[in-house]
């Protein structure tokens, strides 16, 4: 298929820029004054948006052969943050959060539905809250673009990704938990994509989300590089955890403010690199000043190389405070894959591998398929083997008490027969 002429011209320009700066080197300057100004604007924007979110919503799962859900809310329209019944926010545990833009998207995709029941069952078993964001922001808000000096968005599509809602959902969860009087403080939040789920290892309750957050007392953000076979990238946005701090709220606001096109990872990485550059009082050394201008043909391949090139400088603030810090990513500089945690200012990047000194499995999708992993980002029609097989989302009672094992086996048989009879009922009570 022939490419439009404007696309050919654009790609030729990007290629020439890349060749030029690869040869001579370049840098992206993150000015502290500009950084603080943009962050202040971002906080102001998200504060108004979070105020519009209905956080008094309850979602009930009526268990049975075919589970049903219904909402109790006073608001007819707008995005909602709902606490799922059977889970309670009465302790300072890590809350689990997921996101869908509609009830239909939750129910009509079997993998999403079963992953939701899996999360609800895990929270029920481990006595922690499960929150779910349901709804959309107004397109005039979602598709807005802002001037962010170190990002320089080139994305041609007019739409921004719905995945960027996770930033607002996490902020709304922080706010909701701060308003619960019997909590001593707002607890952390672990976000999982709609199709991510907890493994047998997680349900054994030997390790917990808190176990991973305890690896670093300095970090406010804990993320994972990528699942098995994925491209080499700095951080995937599908599974992450954040503590409720002033720094994390600024970070989330800036991530949302930097929205740019169909991938939330582009503004995520731009925000990460800008934050590290500010903390280390340095610029970002790179092959191209357009690193964060476009995702598919630029950031997706170049961001990881840029992180390697800047790693000694970015880690300098960590080593100044803790000269013996061993969370250096292991062989990351040689392979661009983490086999050890990598601690950077405010952030801990976790590998798809165990942390032996903490007796922790991989947070997600261990690259060694014979080892356990804590959670999986594996769609129902995929098989990463080991503990991450799509058909195992609810196996071994991992959706109890909301879905019986016999009903789960029935759903899988119907799925294999291409049946749509696994659709579920929904009602809303106001």
Q: Which residues of the chain have pLDDT under 70?
A: 1-25, 64-65, 181-185, 227-230, 385-386, 405-430
> Contact 92/183 with Cβ under 8 angstroms?
yes
Other C-beta atoms lying within 10 Å of the C-beta of residue 37: 12
What integer pLDDT is reported at residue 68 of this predicted model? Answer: 80
* Encoded tokens for 45: 């924007």
Both tokens of 101, joined, read 């833009």
Q: 199 Cβ partners below 8 Å, 6+ apart? A: 372, 373, 374, 375, 376, 387, 388
Q: Is the peptide bond before 354 cis (omega within 30 degrees of 0)?
A: no
Q: Give the tokens for residue 331.
A: 């062989």
Q: What is the dihedral of CA 306, 349, 200, 385, to 10 degrees?
A: 20
The DSSP secondary-structure symbol of 295 reads: I
SS3 346: coil
> From its phi and psi, is residue 78 left (phi > 0), alpha (psi between -120 and 50) or beta?
left
Q: What is the pLDDT of residue 108?
A: 85
Length of the chain: 430
pLDDT score, position 248: 97
What pLDDT is stored for residue 291 in this prediction? 92
pLDDT score, position 159: 87
CB atoms within 10 A of CB 256: 27
CA distance 65 to 84: 19
């Amino acid at each position: 298929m022939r490419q439009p002429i404007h696309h050919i011209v654009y790609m030729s320009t990007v290629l020439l820029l890349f060749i030029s700066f690869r040869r001579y080197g370049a840098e992206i300057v993150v000015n502290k004054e500009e950084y603080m100004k943009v962050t202040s604007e971002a906080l102001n924007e998200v504060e108004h948006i979070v105020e519009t979110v209905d956080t008094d919503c309850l979602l009930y799962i009526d268990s049975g052969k075919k589970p049903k859900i219904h909402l109790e809310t006073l608001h007819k329209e707008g995005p909602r943050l709902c606490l799922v019944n059977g889970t309670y926010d009465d302790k300072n545990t890590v809350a689990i959060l997921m996101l869908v833009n509609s009830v239909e998207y939750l129910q009509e995709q079997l993998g999403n539905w079963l992953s939701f029941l899996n999360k609800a069952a895990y929270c029920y078993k481990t006595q922690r809250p499960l929150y779910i964001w349901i709804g959309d922001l107004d397109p005039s808000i979602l598709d807005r673009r802002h001037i962010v000096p170190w990002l320089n968005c080139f994305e041609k599509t007019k739409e921004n990704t719905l995945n960027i809602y996770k930033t607002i959902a996490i902020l709304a969860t922080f706010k909701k938990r701060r308003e619960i009087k019997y909590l001593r403080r707002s607890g952390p939040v672990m976000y999982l994509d709609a199709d991510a789920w907890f493994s047998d290892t997680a349900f054994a309750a030997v390790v917990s989300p808190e176990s991973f957050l305890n690896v670093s007392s300095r970090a406010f953000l804990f993320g994972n590089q990528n699942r098995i076979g994925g491209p080499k990238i700095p951080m995937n946005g599908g599974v992450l955890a954040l503590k409720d701090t002033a720094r994390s709220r600024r970070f989330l606001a800036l991530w949302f403010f930097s929205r740019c096109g169909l991938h939330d990872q582009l503004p995520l990485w731009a925000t990460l690199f800008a934050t590290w550059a500010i903390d280390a009082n340095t610029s970002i050394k790179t092959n191209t000043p357009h690193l964060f201008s476009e995702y598919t043909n630029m950031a997706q391949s170049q961001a990881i190389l840029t992180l390697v090139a800047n790693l000694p400088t970015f880690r300098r603030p960590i080593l100044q405070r803790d000269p013996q810090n061993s969370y250096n990513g292991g062989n990351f500089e040689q392979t661009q894959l983490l086999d050890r945690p990598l601690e950077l200012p405010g952030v801990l990047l976790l590998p798809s591998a165990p942390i032996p000194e903490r007796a922790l499995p991989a947070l997600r999708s261990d690259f060694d398929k014979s080892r356990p992993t804590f959670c999986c980002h594996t769609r129902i029609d995929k098989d990463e083997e080991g503990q991450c097989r799509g058909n195992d989302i609810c196996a071994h009672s991992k959706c109890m008490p909301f879905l019986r094992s016999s009903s789960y086996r029935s759903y899988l048989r119907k799925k294999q027969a291409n049946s749509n009879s696994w659709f579920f009922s929904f009602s809303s009570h106001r």
